[in-house]
Amino acid sequence: MIEFTTPIIPYEGTGIFKLNAPYNETKTLVTSSKVRYSETVSQPNKIHPAWHLIDIYNNSKDFAINLAFAKNRLFRITLGEDFKGTLPNGIRTGMAIEEALSIDKKLWYNDDNDELYESPEGYWLDYYCANRKIFEITIFIPALERDDFFDYKW
């Protein structure tokens, strides 16, 4: 069963979704949970192999959970505003970015990476500039932070 309030564990996953899990196993979990979802294939910057993306919805039109797969492995989980779980340090969507910065003093602004705040603890935060509220938390496998990620030897 998919829950939208489970803890968010960097480098590991959230709830029933575990980073590095195979695509087929994860897709079975999604379809058996009878939640609303959509699936797309993406090739940002014409990367090869293509990424398979599954968006899972809770109540709103925007995804609550986005699962990204490459080479049959779940490498990134992005949690939207409709996901109410928290990181181990208490950071959550809907929180002011200033509050998150006071909680995690290691957060740094990376304007090269879609203007996200990044933590060496294994997560990224995206926020609305207008109201300064976090709208996405992304966790990922450690290899995503390496320069050789797109070699897909992880």
Per-position DSSP letters for 27-61, written without gaps between them: HHHHHHTT--EEEEEE-GGG-SSPEEEEEE-SSSS
The 10 Å Cβ neighbour count of residue 82 is 17
Residues β-bridged to residue 44: none
pTM, whole model, 2 decimals?
0.93
User: In the block, which residue shows the tokens 């207008």?
Assistant: 130
- Which pLDDT score, from 0 to 100, does residue 78 have? 98
- Which pLDDT score, from 0 to 100, does residue 45 have? 67
Question: Distance between alpha carbon 28 and the CA centroid of its chain, in Å?
Answer: 19
Q: For residues 18 and 129, give the distance between their C-alpha atoms in angstroms, rounded to a whole number.
A: 31
pLDDT (tens, 9 = 90+) of the chain, 154 residues, equals: 899 999 999 999 999 999 999 999 999 999 999 899 999 998 766 677 889 999 999 988 899 999 999 999 999 999 999 999 999 999 999 999 999 999 999 999 988 766 799 999 999 999 999 999 999 999 999 988 888 787 778 7
Long-range contacts of 80-83 (CB under 8 A, 24+ apart): 80/135, 80/136, 81/135, 81/136, 82/4, 82/57, 82/58, 83/4, 83/5, 83/14, 83/58, 83/137
